[in-house]
Amino acid sequence: MDKKFFFSDKELKLLNTNKAIKLLLAQEDNINPEKVLRYVRYEKTLEDLQVELIKMQQWVIKNNKRVCLLFEGRDAAGKGGAIRRVTHHLNPRNYRVVALPKPTEQERGQWYFQRYINKLPNPGEVVLFDRSWYNRGVVEPVNGFCSQEEYERFMSEVNHFEEMITNDGVILMKFYFSITKKEQAARFEDIASNPLKRWKMSPVDEVAQELWDTYTEYKERMFAHTNTEKNPWIILRANRKTTARVAVIKHILKRIPYKEKA
């Protein structure tokens, strides 16, 4: 027996939009209006939040504020997709996305935080780090890219480093996108089977499932040591990408005082 759907007038109005109709037609034989309705609602919510992000950016520019947003999480957790939704309608002259490659030989001889200091926001600018200095807190020790001594030094310095930049006026927010092992495996499978996404897979990604428990161990150490009162971690449940994207924008808008007080 076919499933029956009952919708309110408001829901029917949403399903009658061009976007919803295209999505319904794309489903061909397996039509699921409830799924389409959820996605249309998400798109509307996202659009409303992106309008507020524009206002937030204008406030940052007007008041010469410096905003630094860190996006951390396991491989395939959805960090890049969330960053794209945050920046989609922002003025490109006043934001930067920083995704640094592995350090050069010269950078390896420098103080670890030096390459990140050079990327911190200027007055009137928002900088979004797609992975940050916390590479040394999890990814590097798990994969043997740093020594134990380098890891311990980072852990002893990172809270002081963040306190220095926030004391100087930088607005710092640290996001961690949390997914399950099963969800990560499913996303890796999707990436590997899609020629348009295959470039995303790296040698680090290929062993991420095998090293899951080791990642968990270092992640928990990182939270225990660096979840400070002044610069706390915001942990987002990211198994559903749309939920995580909306949540991260709401947190940004809540933290940054861009609205004029009455």
Span 95-99, average pLDDT: 98
User: Does residue 14 lie in a domain region?
Assistant: no
User: Does residue 22 lie in a domain region?
Assistant: no
Per-residue pLDDT tens digits for 190-199:
999 999 999 9
In this prediction, residue 178 carries a pLDDT of 98
Domain count, the chain: 1
User: Does residue 28 lie in a domain region?
Assistant: no
Is residue 262 predicted with pLDDT exceeding 50?
A: no
Mean pLDDT of the chain: 91
In this prediction, residue 32 carries a pLDDT of 64
- 69: Cβ contacts below 8 Å, ≥ 6 apart: 86, 126, 127, 128, 129, 173, 175, 252
Q: How far is CA 57 from CA 114, 121, 123, 255, in A?
A: 26, 13, 12, 13
- 87: Cβ contacts below 8 Å, ≥ 6 apart: 95, 97, 128
1 band by pLDDT with thresholds 50, 70 and 90: very low
What percent of the chain shows pLDDT beyond 70? 86
Per-residue pLDDT tens digits for 16-72:
676 655 655 566 556 566 677 788 889 999 999 999 999 999 999 999 999 999 999
Domain boundaries, position 139: 64-255
Contact 224, 232 (CB under 8 A): no
In this prediction, residue 33 carries a pLDDT of 67
User: CATH code at 96?
Assistant: 3.40.50.300
Q: What is the DSSP string of 4-37?
A: P----HHHHHHHTSHHHHHHHHHTTTS--HHHHH
User: Does residue 4 lie in a domain region?
Assistant: no
CA distance 111 to 198: 34
User: Does residue 72 lie in a domain region?
Assistant: yes
In this prediction, residue 19 carries a pLDDT of 65
